[in-house]
């Protein structure tokens, strides 16, 4: 079964303007960009469970512009997939603006990845290395602003922090002056992986900004999301692994409810989700509700029909 193509689908819900959401005074709940995972089927699932705003996985802008195959494989959406932010990895203002022009009819905005700490990304001049290149970030934002004239189209950035927080505040101020719509802050440095998130640093950044700020890092439940929102004073929270483990997290569930699992099966089959992705998401979702023996059996399944039979036998329909 083939999912809806980018070329035939235009976002029909512009009324769900992320900027207005950020100024509502309510917690804005955001699904993070996740390579391989935050694709259309998963975005559709989390939207059923109180997620307000979704990001695509990070897409390399140069490949996206130059290759029709890359566009078809990397970006799929449909009319219900709103509001939507397309995240790009980029180090060239012209290529980024070209990519933004391609997606602007199908999304509410684009985001520049300035936070990915993976070696390959930084070696290519993408991701977290951009927090040390504020002029390049400024040029990319300006070029998109000049080339995309769609009213309300957002241009945001997602960053990590510096060891010297003054540098991060300076970067954010420069980005704000250039016309960035909002900033997402992952509260770790590029070198940190599993160390505690510096929520105090996110709070300081927010206090120095007039534009919305989203807090990101180690949020695993709605209660934690609300707590981080309160202590940082930010306008929203972005969650990655917490949603992978429990796509119903933002609706207040402590673990993935069975209804959510069956919703995933329905959505994934309807949209033609590849088997590996379909299975992997279920492994994440069922981590907390299955025994070690059950995991061994479930993780070894090798077909969609075997998965559906397993779920039906163990959990019913």
SS3 of the chain: helix, strand, coil, percent, to 5 = 50, 15, 40
Q: Does 230 belong to an annotated binding site? A: no
Residue 232 CA, chain-centre distance (Å), reads 20
**116 flagged as catalytic:** yes
User: Buried (b) or exposed (e) across 280-309, using 16+ Cβ within 10 A?
Assistant: ebbebbbeeebeeeeeeebeebeeeeebee
Q: Does 35 belong to an annotated binding site? A: yes
Q: Does 169 belong to an annotated binding site? A: no
Instruction: Enumerate helices (H) and strands (E) in the chain, giving the number of each.
Output: 15, 9
∠ CA 89-80-184, nearest 5°, is 35
Catalytic one of 116, 129, 172, 260 = 116
Assign residue 39 a region (left: φ > 0; alpha: ψ between -120 and 50; beta: otherwise).
beta
**Two tokens at 279?**
């299975």
Q: Does 306 belong to an annotated binding site? A: no
- Dihedral of CA 155/97/91/52: which sign? positive
Q: Does 87 belong to an annotated binding site? A: yes
Q: Does 155 belong to an annotated binding site? A: no
DSSP, collapsed to helix, strand or coil, labels residue 154 as strand
What contacts 34, CB < 8 A, 6 or more positions away? 57, 240, 244
DSSP β-ladder status, 53-55 and 213-216? unpaired
Distance CA 209, CA 26 (A): 18
Q: Does 33 belong to an annotated binding site? A: yes
**Two tokens at 125?**
């001049």
- The catalytic residues are 116
Q: Which residues are annotated as a binding site?
A: 33-35, 87, 186, 240-241
Residues flagged as binding site for FMN: 33-35, 87, 186, 240-241
């Amino acid at each position: 079964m083939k999912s809806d193509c980018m070329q035939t689908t235009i976002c029909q819900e512009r009324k769900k303007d992320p900027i207005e959401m950020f100024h509502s005074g309510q917690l804005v709940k955001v699904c993070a960009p996740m390579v391989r995972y935050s694709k259309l089927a998963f975005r559709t699932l989390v939207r059923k469970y109180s997620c307000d705003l979704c990001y695509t996985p990070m897409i390399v802008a140069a490949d996206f512009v130059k290759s029709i195959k890359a566009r078809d494989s990397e970006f799929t959406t449909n009319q219900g997939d709103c509001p939507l932010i397309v995240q790009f990895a980029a180090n060239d203002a012209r290529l980024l603006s070209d990519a933004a022009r391609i997606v602007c009819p199908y999304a509410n905005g684009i985001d520049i990845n300035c936070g990915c700490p993976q070696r390959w990304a930084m070696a290519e001049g993408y991701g977290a290395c951009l927090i040390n290149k504020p002029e390049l970030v400024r040029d990319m934002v300006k070029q998109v602003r000049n080339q995309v004239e769609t009213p309300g189209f957002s241009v945001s950035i997602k960053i990590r922090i510096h060891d010297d927080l003054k540098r991060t505040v300076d970067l954010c101020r420069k980005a704000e002056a250039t016309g960035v719509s909002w900033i997402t802050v992952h509260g770790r440095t590029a070198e940190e992986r599993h160390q505690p998130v510096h929520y105090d640093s996110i709070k300081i950044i927010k206090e120095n900004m007039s534009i919305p700020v989203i807090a990101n890092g180690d949020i695993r439940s709605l209660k934690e999301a609300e707590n981080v929102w309160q202590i940082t004073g930010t306008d929203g929270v972005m969650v990655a692994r917490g949603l992978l483990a429990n796509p119903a997290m933002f609706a207040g569930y402590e673990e993935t409810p069975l209804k959510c699992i069956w919703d995933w099966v329905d959505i994934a089959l309807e949209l033609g989700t590849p088997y590996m992705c379909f299975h992997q998401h279920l492994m994440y979702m069922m981590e907390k509700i299955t025994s070690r023996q059950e995991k061994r059996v479930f993780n070894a399944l090798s077909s969609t029909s075997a998965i559906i039979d397993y779920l039906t036998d163990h959990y019913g329909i």
